[in-house]
Structure formats: structure tokens, C-alpha cells
Structure 1
Amino acid sequence: MATLARAEELQSPDKQFTLSVNLTPDGAPTYSLVYKGKPVLKTSQLGLELKNTPSLTNGFVQTSAVRKSIDESWNPVWGEVKTIRNHYNELAVTLTQPATKRVMLVRFRLFDDGLGFRYEFPRQPELGYFVVKEEKTQFALAGDHKAFWLPGDYDTQEYSTVTSNLSQVRGLMKQSVTDNASQHTFSPTGVQTPLMLKRPDGVYINIHEAALIDYSTLSLDLDDQNFILNAHLTPDAEGNKGNLQTPSTSPWRTVIVSDRAGAILESKMVLNLNEPTKYKDTSWIKPVKYVGVWWEMITGKSSWSYTDMENIKLDSIDYSKVKPNGTHAANTAHVKEYIDFAAQHKLDAVLVEGWNTGWEDWFGKHKEYVFDFVTPYPDFDIEELNRYAHAKGVNIIMHHETSGSSRNYERFMEPAYQLMNKYGYNAVKSGYVGDILPLGEYHYGQWMNNHYLYAITEAAKHRIMVNAHEAVRPTGLARTYPNLIGNEAARGTEYEAFGGNNADHTTILPFTRLIGGPMDYTPGIFQTRISAYNPKNTSFVHSTLARQLALYVTMYSPLQMAADLPETYNKFLDAFQFIEDVPVDWDDTHVLEAEPGDYITIARKGKGTGNWFVGSTCDEQGRTSTIKFDFLKPGKKYEATIYADGKGAHYETNPQAYAIRKLTVTSKSKLSQYCAPGGGYAISVVEK
């Protein structure tokens, strides 16, 4: 593609990146990116195609180019590090279409770890309201890269990651699309973001988006002949990709690049491209470690529902007059057992699912009114459990399953949050299982993205933290709205009871799903044979017990669940000690080893302490991990408690084999530790 002689160039602060921005002879904006002298992105298209009006793709002239540099630091409310540096050079290019007199600004920010850019549409007479037919952003890669990808879908990320070259995506797509409660794949070469790539020369590239607000979610449609990734936005019920009014902006498009895999995990670019917190007071936002009445329902040991009735309407049933099924887990006596366990082991909270009426007749029915989020089942004494929990210093986490009926949730949201305030619940796990109502809308469309943010901001008015499941994948919005303390938005531990996750799953997720924010992955499964809880279920957890401990470090989240049953933990209290000790908020983080799909080893320093915790997880091959303790303070001695795979450990044949030993370590110490297939290790490092 020919370009004009004039080009705007921008370098990163460390001068390792060079960005070029051009206009073609027909006035089409393009950009390219070079890292250490080699192209990351070749000449790539910019712009938006609009509906029923000339598009913002060509016919432009450049009317200004404004540059600035920023170097500042900020402290997150919670996070992987205490302080985050925000250091970039910026180029803001204003483009005008003489034929229409419309203006579009493209703002580029070049960091030492990559590029962020977005479209900005100032208020202007010629462009007030407009409908996006498709965003035309391209990421033109320099060849056939290795990719870690999920099928492009408007409704779910709950797929196993596929590892292949981009040239193989088309041939692998059909077998990669597995069943889910709601799914709409869009292309034989469509993939989701975050997309992790590796070039043959060892350079790692991660493509995602930041600050997804009032806009449709970005996916990528691969041109597998030319290795160009084309933006593909999630449509609304009418097939439109977005309804905008000026002044407005798109989300940032992000490209993180490094020749060290660990640097991708350490990048804070996505957070830096989000706005500072909107809340003046954040003292009520606290990281949480919790247990919950959940895994026993997932495995089939217990049920969410109080009865076995079908075809019910909440306004026409008196639950006090129907026969209970005897398997309902969210009953007062049983929840007290979880509260007792949490109090005994200094855990913050207990999540209770299935406490409210309506669970008998909710799944896949497209019912507008399924739950009211305020009426408990007869065997769930909300007042007594509130009294009991708070007397023991334990919070209860509320659960709101919307069944995809988002309008119904908005109808009951205020009384539901008021109920939580009344009983001292300070966190809620919400869910969006199934097709979205109103029908035709998708989980990742503009309409639902606005709904998710509405739920978060309304919760903040009640000082409530939100952990949203089946919602859109995160894009760093937790910086702006830090009560968004967790998300699912990926294939979590629950799938271990539905047939299993691949053994390499947790060596990939930090490079993909976690780029935009933490995941409520729900680790800590010690009884890996599901049949121990439900003889009819032959699934098993594709992990050793030791690796389940490591996940509390490698799968970062300020919301961490000890997901197994108290009765199982009581059999392994020496191993459970690590879960009891490991923090959920950190002052510092170091990626010690990393290779996507193979292994990850991370060390983190507990918030406000001198104690460090290390986690290492590997794939089905097993390996020997070699690390240094040079992250420790020189001149000090520490006691390291190592929770490792035991002799003969294997995720399939011997998952519960583990060994615990103690060592004295200093900043000069080194460790060589074997990790079994599907295994790993965890270490607590405590100042002496």
C-alpha cells in the first residue's frame, strides 16, 4: 500500500519501539509498529465503517499532530504491586474529512512495553449521533505466529485454549467449539482477545483492549492468507456494532510486546490506559479469601434448588407447603458448618449459592422473571445466619444468578442491594448463565457492557463489591471501579467437574484472560476425583494437589476461594496451611520463569509485610524448576516452607502425593524443584 512521503513517528521512552502513522494517497489512516528494529505490525488500517452515512475510513487530511510525554506513578486500591509507573510518549493525530467536515482524532500512547491507541470523536455539528457498522482496525502481523486462541464468540469465553500457528486456526476451529449454555461463534477464523502470540524469533505479542465503556467488545477475524487480524465487534439485536453520540471515544486497542514472556505478565499497560478511580472513599473495598457452598453443587453432591418441582412461577407457589428434595445445600445448619470452618482458619467470608427461591425452573427457559434476589428458601434463615456469621467475624457473600435476564436484574437490583446492606453483606457474586434477555442481545455487546457497568456503579452506592461471572472479559476497568473485585469470563475450575480442563490451562490463562484483570478461578481442589462426591461423575481435576496451592500465587486475584469442601480440607490441614497463610493483596511481584503453555513461576510479597509467596505451575510434561531468591532483602534470613509434588505424583494417577519441607533461605539462595506432570509447588517465605 502506497503512503504519502510525510509520516508521523513516535518512539517509546526507552526507544525500543517506533510507531509510524501515515495517510495513504486516498486519505486512509494507517499505522505500523517496530520493536528493536523488527516489524511487530506492518502497515495496518485504521478507521470505522458507519451505517447509512460516509465512513470514517478514508478521505482524510491531517490537521494537527500533538505530542506529549507522561511519567507518573499511582497506587492501586488492591493489586499485584504497591505502586504502578505510568510512563509513555503520546501522539494525538487529528484527521479531518474535507468532503463531510467531520473530525476524528486517533490518540497513540507508546510505552516501554507496547502500544495503546483509540479513536476520539469530538462534539461537532456534522457528527452528532452515528451507528457503527464495523470497526476497521487492523493488526497486520509480520508472519505466521504461534497463537494461544479461543474461538471468536459473542457470548462466552468458556472454551479450552487452542495452541497452534495462525495458519492452522481454520482447520482446528470446528473441533474447538465445545458446548456452552449460550454461544454464538461468528467466523471460521474468528478469535477472541486477549490473544497471545509468539513469533519464531522468540518475541511475544499480546493483543487486547482497555477501558471498554459504552462500546462493543473487540474480537479479531483472521485473514489467514496475509496474517492480518481484523477488528470484529459484537453486534446488537439489530446487527449494529455500536450506537454512539459525540463527544465519545472507543476503548483503547492494546499491543503488548517483549522478548521475555514474563514481561507480558508484568505489564500494567491495560491498567494505565484506564482512568483513575471514580470513588473518593475506597476504604470499604477489601480483598477477600473465602469458602463457599458451591463446589458440592457443581459436582452433583448437592443441589441449588429446594424442591424437584418444574414449571413454577414465583408469584404462584408457597414453598412452605411443598416437599423439599433433601439435597438442598444452602440450608441454615449446613451454612453454619462453612462459617465455622472459615472462622477457624481465618478466612474472610462464605459464599452461599442457592439461598433464594426460583432455582427449580431457571436454566435455559428464557424466563423474564426468574429470581427476585430477596426471598430466601424456607430452610435458609437469613437473619440467624447473619447474626451467627458476624459473631464469628465472618462475612457472607451474596449470590445473584440473573439467568441472563438482565432487565429483571435491573428491576430488582435496588431492593437486592438494600437487603445486602440490611444484613451486612458487602460482596456479591453475580451470574449471567444462558442467552441474554431481551433476546437478540449478546453477552459482549454494547447493551450488556453498559449493564455490567451499571451493576458495578449501583453496587458502589451501597458499598458493595462485585464478582461477575459469565460477564464480559475485563479490560482494566477495576482501576476506575475497584469494587469490581473479580470476574470469571473464562473456563474456570467448575469445568473440572464437567470433563476437565487441559493440564496446561493454568499456564496459559495468565497470558490471555488475566491480561485485563483478575479471575475468580476458584482453586484449592484437594479431592481431585469428582466421584468421591458424586459416584455418577467420573471427571477429575487435571492437577496435582501441590499445583492447586500454587494457583493462589500464579492466578492473581484479590478474591480467592478455597473451593473444596471443609470435610476434605480437614484431612489435609498441613497442606491447607498454605491457603490459610497466602495473602490476596500484594506489594510486589516478580515473574521468575514463564513460557505460555508450559510453565509459570511467580514470587509475590504480601501487602504490608516482609513475607513472600512463590507459586509454580507446569503442563502435562512435568519439569524441573530452577529459581533464585534474589528478590529477598539482602542480609536477612527467611524460613521457606515448600509444598511440593511428592514421590510418584502425577495429575492423572497420583494427584494427592505431596511433601512439605522447610529450609532457611537468603537473597543468595537457589532452588531446584521437580514439578510432576500437571503439577507444581508453592512456597511461603517468612522473615525470621
Structure 2
Amino acid sequence: MKRFFGWLGFFVLAATSAQTVTAPGGNLSLTFQLTDKGQPAYSVRFKTQDVVLPSTLGMRIKDLPALTEGFEVLKTESNVVNEPWTPVLGETAEIPNHYTQLTVALRQAATGRLLTLIFKVYDEGVAFRYEFPKQPQLNYFIIEDELTQFNLNGNHKTFWIPGDYDSQEYAYNETFFADIDGAKIDMNNGIGLKTIRSNQRVQSPLMMKTAQGLYLNIFEAAVVNYPVMHLEVQPKTYRLTSHLVPNALGDKAYLQTPAVTPWRTIFVHDDARKIVSSRMILSLNEPCKISDVSYIKPMKYVGVWWEMHVGKSTWDYAGSQNAQNAADGSLKPSGRHGATTENVKRYIDFAAQHGFDGVLVEGWNTGWEDWFGNWKEDVFDFVTPYPDFDLKAVNAYAQAKGVKMIMHHETSGSVANYERHLDRAFQLMKDYGYPAVKSGYVGRIIPRGEFHDGQTMVNHYNFVARRAADFKLMINSHESSRPTGYHRTYPNYIAAEAARGNEFNAWSVGNPPMHETILPFTRLLGGPMDYTPGIFEIKMSYYDKSKSEQVHTTLAKQLALYVTLYSPLQMAADLPENYERHLDAFQFIKDVAVDWQDSKYLEAEPGDYLTVARKEKKGERWFLGAITDENARTTTLKLDFLTPGKKYKAILYQDAKEADWKTNPKAYEIKTMTVTAKSKLTLRLAPGGGTAVSFEPLP
């Protein structure tokens, strides 16, 4: 690891003095100062534009005087850090971490309490956090409110979802800042649990674009022992203020000094590609704490999952209406259960035949019949299979075929129950050789009164990752709080959902075509997403003629998502028989890598389009994905990311001329050509469409 510190100075400042620090590249700067009342304040400038106007910082502490004003500066330190690091899995083999840091030590004159502010200025954004040193004036304390402001300089175009304490599974709204209003959202959106306490509150990350062409994003990094930050919106003054998700008592966070908050981040650049390709969120997290990372490996998988969403089978064994319908009160099979030994073996055969690493099985364990919506505590024990699922036989069959099984733990929101059973559940996985588990948090949280985004649940998600590391297991969480880079510290936290995934296309209004062009600018900034792409049978009327739901993409765009939506854990989510009818297109899913040596973001515009090229970690192949929104698009790309002097066989999986996500989503064509780094490639994307390309070096 390279490490370079350049000391820029040590200062003792008067209370009203200002200090400016500039990013290594020179375009982005942050100014800190105290107001006349002794309030800490900052502002951000990009080149000649004021991006964040003077904004105050502070904390309201329960039953104690607020940490908001009356501060004096004890000292400041500034230095330049250049500290690249190597991820276990990632979009690039090495991640830059180059920034200018300003540390400001403050003392509140009236109380003697100490507070330190840390600012980091990268070329693509700034980050800051509060630190509470160990001190006699402050030991145990409760955060009542965090009063971080973000004062914007105009009525920016904004991509937002409402500030729901329990769900991020919303389609994004594209409006001007002044028009943010949760009351105008259509709530017939398929989300089962909604907890929205204000129509003027949004979730971070919040993506924006100014009239002057700057791209802004407000987010957070390293959320550890702290609740998720949402944002209060003041539409007329263009102000955002931090809002922490409360617990059952209305408190925000319980802390003891020394303590730190998560980093508050503001991405700023005039090139959208610099935002979407940034790894600043990851770099702001602590380095890896796992000594043995040999078990953390990328995976492509299939599984018993989509067939439940399309109504072909069910998670439950007996059916929710006749859960105990035998004379002795035992479960009687409904005949529609998906996780049977026979059916799972069919998926294992398919995985082995086509070179997939694993098979996920949902609905294998007892308890699915009557829990949903009932706020029931003791639902699952995570070790007892249904009568028609032979755990030992399935595992032996998979091992004989060279396929790994992926465990599924649906907690039903009862995290207290899950933690009680966690070690036994993980030991069962070790006994049968399961390398990874997909966890789920559907439903209201138990302990009752807690929210998915509160401090208690953040601690739970992180605890599960840490405990899984003790067992050398990988975690893929669904319905959890959105990631903020914790997988740098615990890379066995291999993926998460935490956004509106592909399954919403099966039984709701679905995901609009622009949805996948926004996710890389929002949810994916914090970590890899298990979006479950690869749906080939687009229209749900195929399964039931009365259904009108459909996936809001073309088939070719489903292929491109394997490149544009990064995850080292990627599912081929459709049914095996649907792939068998399109083996030529399925070849791309078989070929595409999921761990990368290099990534080039060639084109990017949130809500409109994205084009990414990636080089596989342990080879010379490149893969490209290009996607668009509801508008057709033609683009010409330079292939100068390829190795000079080499020839490549390029296989294009693209929309046919007549393709359209609404009317003709399955129309695609496959073309092969020879290209070099000097070649140009013209792509034609249908409405809601995309193109996937593989580049294989020729001898």
C-alpha cells in the first residue's frame, strides 16, 4: 500500500477565521469557518461556481445543552493523503484514495465540551464527519437531532425517493427541487410496508443536476452504530437538513465517547462519469478487518425464486389458507411448493450444465404459511426443512455436480428471533458446505417499534456480516438499509438489494425504463446490488393470460445490466426453460465476468443512459453494457480501452430494429465482428433497450 502525507500547516485561528482546503486536482474546495455566534459552518465551491452555500453544523443532545454554537477553534491541521488500496472483489483491481484533509478541534466555551470536525476533499467530492473525543464533560449521551445543513444554490433537477423509514423499494421521481412532494407519489407501487412520516423528506443518496451542468449527490459513508440519514427538504429555500431515523422511543442514537458519526458526502463534478465511477464512499470506510479472505469469491447463480414471483409455485408448503388442515394439525401439501427435492435437482442440473457456481433455494424451510403481515415473532428456526425438501440429499447431489448451494434466511422482520438462531443456522451452512446466504427482512421489525433504517437495525445488519465472517460465510442481504461501503471493512458482505429490484416487474406497476440508469448514481454508490437481472420471458401474460404486468426493458437490456449494475454475486434470475429457448442470448450471461480488473464509464447521464466497459479480473476479455431509458438512442463509441495492437472478436447482443420494451421486447440480434483499439462501434438502442458486447482476444 502506498502512503504519502504532505503536511500543509498547523494553525490557531480566531473564532471567525475561515480556512479553505482544495482537492488534489485543484477544482474543488471546501471552506470552514465559525459564524458570529460560534456555529461551525462550511461551504463548497467547484471551479468558479458556489455549489453549497454556507451551511451550519451541529448536534442536539438529549437532556444536555446543544452542540450548536458558542464554539472556539482550539487548533486545525491539514494534510494531503494519497493512499490507494486493493479490494478483495471490486470494479477495479486498485482503488485510489487521494484527498486533502482538514481537522478542526473545537471547544464549546460555556460547557467545556470538545468536538472535532474532519473534512476530506477529493477531486469528485467532499466528506465530513463529527468526532466526539473522550472527555470528562461528555461520556454516555443520546443524539436527539443532527443539524447538518446542505444549502444549495438553485432549483436543481433532482432524482428522489420518499423518506420511508422501512423501504427503499421506490421508483425514482425526476422533478425540480422545488417540486419535491411525497403527497404526489402514486402509492399503488407494490411496496408492502411503508413508513413515511413527512412528505417533505427524501432518502439519500440524492442525485441532482444544476442548470449550469454540474452533477451533485448527497449521501453518507460508513454508517456504523448510527441510524440512516434521510434529508428534510425546504423547497423554497433549496435547503436540506439531515434527519436521522428514530428508534421506538424517538431517540436517534446512543453513543459513548470516543465516538464518530458516519461521513456526510457531497459529490460534485461537471462530468457525470466522475460521479458514477467514484469509489469515495468505499474509501471512507475502515480497511478490511478479515485476516483470511480466501473464501470470499464471486459467484453467478440460478435458483428457485422467480417462479414464485410469476405464480408458477409458492414459498409455502401447505398454502396460507390451509396451513394446518390435516386431522392431527400437521401441514398438508398444497401441491404448489417450489422448493422440492426434485425441482431443486432440476436447477442443479441446469447450473452444472451451463457452468454456474451456485443454486439459491427459497422456501425450503418450515414457517412460510401464516407469518406475512401478522407481526409474528417465532416464525423460522432456519434449520428445519419442509417434508418435501431433503436437505442432505440435495446437498450431496449438488456436490456431485460441482455446484454450491446458496442458503436463504427470511427473517420475517423478526431480527430478535434471527439473532437467537443465528449460530445454529450458520453452523448448518458450514456442515453442508453452503458458502453464502441470502437474508431477507420483509415485514415490520421485531423488536416492535424499530425501523429498518434505525440504529438498532444498522447494528444488526453489520453484526450479521461480522458473525458470518467468523464462520467464513458470505452475506447477501435483501430489504436491509442501503449499503454505505461497509463491505470494504467486511468484504464477506458481498452484496445487498436495498432498492427496487427486478422482481417488482413481475407483480406491480414495475420499474420504469429509466430506473436502471439512475441506480448507478444512487444505490450503487454505496456497494454492489443484487438486482437479479436476466429475465428473458418479459411479459407476465405468458404465465397467466389475464396478467398485464411486464419487465420494462428489452431482452437485450437485461443482458447489458450484468455490466452496468455491478455485483460480484449475479443471478440468472429467469426459469431454466426460458433460457433454453434462447441459448444464443443466454451465452452472454454464461460468459460475462463478475469481478473486474478495470472499469471504464464511457457515457453517463442519470435518468437517460449509461455505457460501461469492464475487463475481467483474471483474464484479457472485456465486456460492455449500454442501456437507455424509454427513448431510443444511437451512439458511437471508441474502443480505445482495448489493448493496443491486439485483435478481438466482438459479439454484439443488441436490440433488433423492431424492438421496443412495450410492444416487442424480445426482438434481438447477435452480430460478430473483429475489432481493435482503433475501431469505433455504433450501437442502436431501442426504447427501454440496451446492448451487451463481449470482446475476446484473438490469437
Task: Give the TM-score of the pair, scaled to structure 2.
Answer: 0.96
Q: Please give the per-residue CA displacement for 1:23-81, whole angstroms capped at 9, x wherever unaligned.
A: 11111100001001211100001011111110111111010101121112111000000
CA positional deviation for 1:531:
2.2
Mark the runs of 5 or more structure 2 residues left unpaired by the alignment: 1-13
In the alignment, the residues of structure 2 paired with residue 100 and residue 125 of structure 1 have an alpha-carbon distance, to the nearest angstrom, of: 11
In the alignment, the residues of structure 1 paired with residue 200 and residue 168 of structure 2 have an alpha-carbon distance, to the nearest angstrom, of: 16
Does structure 2 conserve the Cα–Cα contact (< 8 Å) formed by 1:47 and 1:56?
Answer: yes
Distance of aligned partners of 1:313 and 1:486 in 2 relative to their CA distance in 1, 3 Å threshold: farther
Distance of aligned partners of 1:165 and 1:317 in 2 relative to their CA distance in 1, 3 Å threshold: farther
Task: Give aligned pairs, total.
Answer: 684
Q: Please give the per-residue CA displacement for 1:103-141, whole angstroms capped at 9, x wherever unaligned.
A: 010000111111010000011111001111110001111
Distance of aligned partners of 1:629 and 1:307 in 2 relative to their CA distance in 1, 3 Å threshold: same
SS at match of 1:568: helix
Query: In the alignment, what sits opposite 1:498?
Result: 507
Query: In the alignment, what sits opposite 1:562?
Result: 572
Does structure 2 conserve the Cα–Cα contact (< 8 Å) formed by 1:620 and 1:677?
Answer: yes
Query: In the alignment, what sits opposite 1:231?
Result: 242
Match of residue 411, structure 1, among 399, 410, 420: 420
* Letter of the 2:195 counterpart: H
Query: In the alignment, what sits opposite 1:122?
Result: 133
Query: In the alignment, what sits opposite 1:95?
Result: 106
Query: In the alignment, what sits opposite 1:36?
Result: 47
CA positional deviation for 1:534:
3.6
Query: In the alignment, what sits opposite 1:373?
Result: 382
Match of residue 354, structure 2, among 321, 345, 348: 345
Query: In the alignment, what sits opposite 1:354?
Result: 363
Query: In the alignment, what sits opposite 1:677?
Result: 687
Matched, 1:325 2:334: yes
Query: In the alignment, what sits opposite 2:38?
Result: 27
Distance of aligned partners of 1:318 and 1:141 in 2 relative to their CA distance in 1, 3 Å threshold: farther
Query: In the alignment, what sits opposite 1:263?
Result: 274
CA positional deviation for 1:323:
2.2
Map 1:218-257; keep pairs closer than 5 Å: 218-257=229-268
Q: CA RMSD in A?
A: 1.6
Matched, 1:13 2:24: yes
Query: In the alignment, what sits opposite 2:295?
Result: 284
Does structure 2 conserve the Cα–Cα contact (< 8 Å) formed by 1:144 and 1:227?
Answer: yes
Does structure 1 conserve the Cα–Cα contact (< 8 Å) formed by 2:16 and 2:34?
Answer: no
SS at match of 2:180: helix
CA positional deviation for 1:317:
11
Map 1:54-93; keep pairs closer than 5 Å: 54-93=65-104
Matched, 1:430 2:439: yes
Does structure 2 conserve the Cα–Cα contact (< 8 Å) formed by 1:151 and 1:177?
Answer: no
Does structure 1 conserve the Cα–Cα contact (< 8 Å) formed by 2:162 and 2:182?
Answer: no
* Letter of the 1:515 counterpart: L
Does structure 2 conserve the Cα–Cα contact (< 8 Å) formed by 1:256 and 1:264?
Answer: yes
Q: Please give the per-residue CA displacement for 1:247-296, whole angstroms capped at 9, x wherever unaligned.
A: 11000001111111111111110011001101011000001100010000
Query: In the alignment, what sits opposite 1:638?
Result: 648
Q: Please give the per-residue CA displacement for 1:326-379, whole angstroms capped at 9, x wherever unaligned.
A: 110100010001001101111100000000001111101111100000000011
Choose 180-189 or 10-19, whichever is displaced more. 180-189
Query: In the alignment, what sits opposite 1:550?
Result: 560
Match of residue 308, structure 2, among 297, 303, 306: 297
Does structure 2 conserve the Cα–Cα contact (< 8 Å) formed by 1:588 and 1:606?
Answer: yes
Query: In the alignment, what sits opposite 1:51?
Result: 62
Distance of aligned partners of 1:318 and 1:430 in 2 relative to their CA distance in 1, 3 Å threshold: farther
In the alignment, the residues of structure 2 paired with residue 467 and residue 536 of structure 1 have an alpha-carbon distance, to the nearest angstrom, of: 34
SS at match of 1:93: strand
In the alignment, the residues of structure 1 paired with residue 149 and residue 415 of structure 2 have an alpha-carbon distance, to the nearest angstrom, of: 33
Map 1:444-523; keep pairs closer than 5 Å: 444-499=453-508, 500-523=510-533
Match of residue 586, structure 1, among 564, 578, 596: 596
Match of residue 664, structure 1, among 674, 677, 682: 674
Map 1:141-290; keep pairs closer than 5 Å: 141-170=152-181, 173-175=184-186, 178=189, 180-290=191-301
SS at match of 2:635: strand
In the alignment, the residues of structure 1 paired with residue 514 and residue 97 of structure 2 have an alpha-carbon distance, to the nearest angstrom, of: 32
SS at match of 1:26: coil
* Letter of the 1:147 counterpart: T
CA positional deviation for 1:308:
2.0
Task: Give the TM-score of the pair, scaled to structure 1.
Answer: 0.98
Identity of counterpart residues, as a percentage?
A: 54
Map 1:565-576; keep pairs closer than 5 Å: 565-576=575-586
CA positional deviation for 1:187:
1.6
In the alignment, the residues of structure 2 paired with residue 182 and residue 477 of structure 1 have an alpha-carbon distance, to the nearest angstrom, of: 25
Distance of aligned partners of 1:37 and 1:172 in 2 relative to their CA distance in 1, 3 Å threshold: farther
Does structure 2 conserve the Cα–Cα contact (< 8 Å) formed by 1:181 and 1:435?
Answer: no
Does structure 2 conserve the Cα–Cα contact (< 8 Å) formed by 1:104 and 1:122?
Answer: yes
In the alignment, the residues of structure 2 paired with residue 178 and residue 120 of structure 1 have an alpha-carbon distance, to the nearest angstrom, of: 40
SS at match of 1:283: coil
Q: Please give the per-residue CA displacement for 1:366-413, whole angstroms capped at 9, x wherever unaligned.
A: 111000000000110110111110111100100000010000000110
Query: In the alignment, what sits opposite 2:3?
Result: none
